[in-house]
Amino acid sequence: MRAAATIIIPNWNGTRWLPGCLSALARQTVSPAEVIVVDNGSQDDSLDTIAAHPLTTTIISLEQNRGFAYAVNRGIEKAQTEYVVLLNNDTAPNSTWLEKLVNSMEEAGPRVYAVGSLMLSMQDPSKIDDAGNSVSWYGAATKRLHQVDLSSTVPDTNPFSVSAGATVYRKAALAEIGPFDEDFESYLEDIDLGIRAKLHAWTCKLCPDAIVLHQAHGSDLPHNTYIRLITCNRLALFWKYLPLKWLIKKSPHIIYGQIYFLIAYGRPLASLSGYLRFFRRAWKFRKNRRQVRSATDWEVLFSKEPLDPPLSHFLNGYWRSLIKWIRRA
């Protein structure tokens, strides 16, 4: 039996993780209509690893790393099914994962654009890795229930947004909402999509029965690149959607968040590179901002959760990072 879903795996230098991911897909109780691997210009043996695996896959090979958003958009364009499922290469879904995920989507309401999986830590499956995402006025994008014992909680099935690391999307919804924003390149593009979905009156769900083991940061970019991209994209989320009066109203929170992360990362040059990247791309983010100018209930876009860790922890716990930052600067 085949599901009306195409699985899309973005890959960049993922030879270490691909065999486990592809083998897990081969054991699914319901087979995907197609598995598309979009290779982002890998310089390792990824393509040979994929070709040697018995699971039948379609490969889209890009000449260079264009980022997560660009890669998955190319896969979504090629998919011919009603649903598309994005799956990180550093994951291992359990055997009923796809069946549970697609069934949950089919049982959801007509205005549900995505259903996310419950991602557990590959190193310790008793711990939750990701049960959906939230974003605060400080710009802190948070994995819900991260590192919480699975046995001690019941995940909320109505998160702010769902992680693009293991989620099924309705193609008809993406046609209305728009694709992943390629100006984000990598990181926070799923939260950006979630905000856009809310503004178009779409919602998302979490399926706690769709279990995926995830190796956090298994296929991550170098740390300085990560800081540069996420610093830029954190600002882009505010700039893209908030009118001027809300930017002014929330400026103390936004500025505090930038100072917090600048010191917390302890790599000022990478953070400053992220700010520069944002200002260079601000006009691109702004052109998309005009599409949602009519929205008025801006409180629904960002959560009211405090920055974690709070101010006291920031002042007392990060003084070593501040000293390291001064030394490096």
| DSSP secondary structure letter of residue 306 | P
pLDDT-based confidence at 80, cuts 50/70/90?
very high
Which of 183, 214, 245 is at the close of a domain? 214
Mean pLDDT of 55-80: 96
Which of 214, 243, 258 is at the close of a domain? 214
Q: Do residue 132 and residue 192 come from a single domain? A: yes
Minimum mean pLDDT among 102-111, 161-170, 262-271: which range? Answer: 262-271
DSSP string, 1-53: -B-SEEEEEEESS-TTTHHHHHHHHHT-SSB-SEEEEEEES-SSSHHHHHHHS
Mean pLDDT of 179-187: 94
Q: Do residue 81 and residue 190 come from a single domain? A: yes
**25-55 tens-digit pLDDT:** 999 999 999 999 999 999 999 999 999 999 9
Q: Do residue 204 and residue 146 come from a single domain? A: yes
pLDDT-based confidence at 309, cuts 50/70/90?
very low
Contact by Cβ (8 Å): 293, 240: no
pLDDT-based confidence at 139, cuts 50/70/90?
confident
User: Considering only CA atoms, which of 154, 69, 82, 152 is closest in space to residue 118?
Assistant: 154
Which of 160, 190, 214 is at the close of a domain? 214
Q: Which domain holds residue 60?
A: 5-214
pLDDT-based confidence at 243, cuts 50/70/90?
confident
Pairing label, strands 128-130, 91-93: unpaired
Q: Do residue 45 and residue 88 come from a single domain? A: yes
Q: Is the pLDDT of residue 211 over 70?
A: yes
Minimum mean pLDDT among 42-51, 70-79, 109-118, 138-147: which range? Answer: 138-147
What does the chain come to in residues?
329
**153-166 tens-digit pLDDT:** 889 899 989 999 99
Q: Do residue 201 and residue 251 come from a single domain? A: no
pLDDT given at position 310:
47
Residue type, 147: Q
Q: pLDDT averaged over the chain? A: 88
pLDDT given at position 104:
97
Q: Do residue 171 and residue 204 come from a single domain? A: yes
Q: Do residue 318 and residue 247 come from a single domain? A: yes
Q: Do residue 96 and residue 205 come from a single domain? A: yes
pLDDT given at position 323:
57
Q: Do residue 195 and residue 228 come from a single domain? A: no
Q: Do residue 189 and residue 105 come from a single domain? A: yes
**Of residues 165 and 316, more confidently modeled:** 165
CA angle 227, 228, 233 (to 5 degrees): 95
**82-104 tens-digit pLDDT:** 999 999 999 999 999 999 999 99
Residue with tokens 């197609």: 34
Tally of domains within the chain:
2
DSSP string, 75-137: HHHH--SSEEEEE-TTEEE-TTHHHHHHHHHHHS-TTEEEEEEEEEESS-TTBEEES-EEEBT
pLDDT given at position 92:
97
Which helix (H) or strand (E) segment holds residue 316: the answer is: helix 311-317
Q: Do residue 208 and residue 169 come from a single domain? A: yes
Minimum mean pLDDT among 66-80, 272-286, 291-305: which range? Answer: 291-305
Q: Do residue 42 and residue 92 come from a single domain? A: yes
pLDDT given at position 283:
87
Q: Is the pLDDT of residue 317 over 50?
A: no
Q: Is the pLDDT of residue 149 over 60?
A: yes
Which helix (H) or strand (E) segment holds residue 212: the answer is: strand 203-214
Minimum mean pLDDT among 60-69, 91-100, 254-263: which range? Answer: 254-263
Which structure tokens are listed for 161? 């947004």
% of the chain exceeding 70 in pLDDT: 85
CATH number at residue 185: 3.90.550.10
Residue 193 vs residues 44, 56, 63, 203, 263: alpha-carbon distances, Å: 31, 30, 26, 11, 28
